[in-house]
Structure 1
Amino acid sequence: MKTVAVVAGLAVAANAHATWQYLWKNGEDLGSTCVRKVPSNSPVEDYTGTALQCNVNPADAEGNCEFAAGDTVTIEMHQHDTRSSTEEAIGGAHWGPVLAYMASVEDAAAATGAEDFFKVYQNTWAKAPGSTQGDNDFWGTKDLNYNGGKLDFKIPADLAPGDYLLRAEAIALHAASASGGAQHYVACYQLTVTGSGSLKPTDTVTFPSAYTKTGPGLGFSIHAPLDSYPAPGPALIESGTESTPQLLTFGTIESAPSATAAPSTASKPASSAASATPVASSPPASSSTAAQTSAAASAPVTAIAEPAPSSSAASPSATPSTPTAEQKYTIAEFIAFLEKADAADDSAAIKKARRHARAFRV
């Protein structure tokens, strides 16, 4: 038999990426009505084309979501077309900032994404006590992961009424270096803002020219000690929302909305008043143990699938057999195992097998 090393992990490849899929208003679930959904959960890495505007070939949104200036908007990301809060929103230790931009447009449905954007939200980086490398620090994407894929901010209270594009972005820096390598996960939402404000920000940028692969916050490695982090793009506007990342382990930012597949479910939005103090909370019983800490996420992983805890295990008749020791698979057998697992159960053991397989023997 021949051993095939899968550096990035064949099973991990599909799980490490993500897309912005849903939106909330003041705790009300608006579903995906105003998002321009993208056909792939792969990142944008091209700084020359138009993909950094609203991603590659986004679909038309169903319509606009109406917000009053000052309302709370919650953006929601997931790896797959599911709203599971026990799966990392963006997997594979993809640590980096989460940003949001808005652009004033005449007609949100007709806007291309080439318009002038201003920054209304950023959740970037904070030093973790005792950390010796950036991987182990606080990051916006850690808050995103461990808050069920949801982060929130305010529509600026003084913003002039009209149509806007809202551009949500998570930037993964795990593969970045001085020569580039950052990964951008982007989507645009169509909004109509009401109110009596008059603000029309002039500190604007266009994409892709707002970024370069070696620019601030992008062209460096997070696998070394960090003393500071320059947020990519322009400065946050004065009435924008600045959040300090706070989560290192699975938890819930206070008052986060509960994910639900049905729109118009009332729930309080995720808190934007984050602090530099981590939220101490245990992982959910069905959560992948790979996401317990940022240090664990960067530690070596194996191809051994561990049995699920008894609190989340399904009955033997409903759950496919999960190996408790290293197993030898052909590629086809491993894929068949994953498909059977997906169809039968959502146990932590199977999710761990999917995320952490590093090699297959054929």
Structure 2
Amino acid sequence: MKYSVVSALALAASSVNAHAIMQRIMVDGVDQGSLTGIRAPSSNNPVQDVSSSDILCGAGAGTSSKLITIPAGASGPTQVYLAKVDDAVSASATGLKWFKIASDSVTSSGVWGVDDMIKNTDSAGFGWQKFTMPSCIAPGQYLMRVELLALHSATAEGGAQFYQSCAQIKVTGSGSFSPASSAEMSLPGGYTATDAGILANIYDSSIYTSYKAPGPAVISCGAGNAAPAPATSAAGASSKPATSAVSSKVPVSTSAAAVTSKPAATTLSTVVKTSEAAAPATSAASSGSGSGTAAHWGQCGGKGYTGPTTCVSGTTCKVQNDYYSQCL
């Protein structure tokens, strides 16, 4: 069976307007409906304080009255976590232990998870990223947390931007996986602003072979269900958070549309939507000379940048580092 997790993500690979809200889940090509089983945040703005409870499922996330059933052996998106609960519809996200089932980091040639997602953009403007639900996952109800991490401003502490949402799912099958304590993480608390995968310079190409996504390693279904050694990041489609470090790709999608190809195993997808540039202008940037207006959260300057340097009304172009200025 094929499963697709849909996120409407205002994201462009170069400008990194990464605003994501998971919006839909598809089962065998059947759209379960807008926000069905999804705890939608109150806005698509990033979370930058990793000690805030908003790091769980996004700012102001409520609950849904629905549950999505997913057989073990399925696929999903970017960095993807599960937390076992008795009742996913009513469970609080606070105080749970999260384990990672998918992570799409960066290849040795510098292709990030978000790049892959954008590359898979469909005619509706949604980019897809896929991951596989491990077959060993024990049946039962879970909260599934999908995380996109934007690293374009992460050279300064507090500059990394998290976009995450949670879905309420029910896993079926005959798995019996029980994560080791070393494979679990609490949120907030599991991330710190100075973690190597959060405070990072994506403009230094040496990161392509040394980057490790934040959080524990992706779980292993092997003997003892022990957590594997942390993955480095030259892995293409299986360990990489996006240029704006956000990805988790073990066949999954990140976008708001259906997946077109059907893998043998069950597939989860998260969707991302490319953002449009906005309207009026206000501010100038450090370099770049393109015409037009940069959107809120969009790039407006930096070394080698040639796009618009004027920001949409109400925002100002602020230098984040030598390579990136952003409309904030």
**What are the equivalent positions in structure 2 for 1:64-213 lying under 5 Å apart?**
64-73=67-76, 75=77, 98-114=78-94, 115-128=96-109, 137-148=110-121, 149-177=127-155, 179-202=157-180, 203-213=183-193
Question: Runs ≥4 in structure 1, deviation > 4 angstroms?
Answer: 12-16, 255-261, 269-272, 287-290
Secondary structure (helix, strand or coil) at the match of 1:142 reads helix
Report the Cα offset of residue 358 of structure 1. Answer: 1.9
Q: How does 1:3-14 map to 2 (within 5 A)?
A: none
| Mapped partners of 2:146, 2:157: distance in 1 | 25
CA contact (8 A) 1:173 1:182 kept: yes
C-alpha displacement of 1:267: 4.1
When normalised by structure 1's length, the TM-score is 0.57
Structure number having the greater strand percentage: 2
Identity of aligned residues (%): 32
- Residue 220 of structure 1 corresponds to which residue in structure 2? 200
| Cα shift readout 1:194-248 (whole Å, capped 9, x = no counterpart) | 1121112132111111100101211121122224111210011013996266x99
Contact 1:118 1:204 in 2 (8 A): yes
Equivalent residue number for residue 358 of structure 1: 309
Whose Rg is larger? 1
Partner of 1:282: none
CA distance in structure 2 between the partners assigned to 1:259 and 1:358 by the alignment: 28
* Alpha-carbon distance in 1 for matches of 2:156, 2:105: 19
Separation in structure 1 between the aligned mates of residue 169 and residue 211 of structure 2, nearest angstrom: 31
Change (3 A) 1:258 1:108: closer
Which structure has more RCO (C-alpha within 8 Å, separation ≥ 6)?
2
**What is the aligned length?**
244
Deviation at 1:165, TM superposition (A): 0.4
Pair 1:268 & 2:261 matched: yes
Structure 1 unaligned residues grouped into runs of 5+:
1-11, 76-97, 129-136, 273-286, 291-298, 306-333, 339-354
**TM-score, length-normalised on structure 2?**
0.63
Q: Flag structure 2 segments of 5+ consecutive residues without an equivalent.
A: 1-13, 122-126, 222-227, 229-234, 244-248, 266-273, 278-285, 296-305, 314-328
Contact 2:147 2:162 in 1 (8 A): yes
C-alpha separation in 1, matches of 2:312 and 2:72: 57
Q: For residue 160 of structure 1, report the CA deviation from its aligned partner.
A: 1.1
Q: CA RMSD in A?
A: 4.1
Q: For 1:301 and 1:171, locate their aligned partners in 2 and report how far apart those are by CA, in whole Å.
A: 25
1:243 to 238, 241, 248: 238
> What are the superposed Cα offsets for residues 164-208 of structure 1, whole Å, 9 maximum, x if unpaired?
000000100000125341111000000011112111213211111
| Corresponding residue for residue 214 of structure 2 | 232
Alpha-carbon contact 2:147-2:164 (below 8 Å) kept:
yes
| 8 Å contact kept, 2:213–2:239 | no
Alignment of 1:23 onto 2:25: yes
The Cα of 1:118 is off from its aligned counterpart by 0.4
Q: 1:270 to 1:206 in 2, by over 3 A?
A: farther
2:282 matched to 1:304?
no
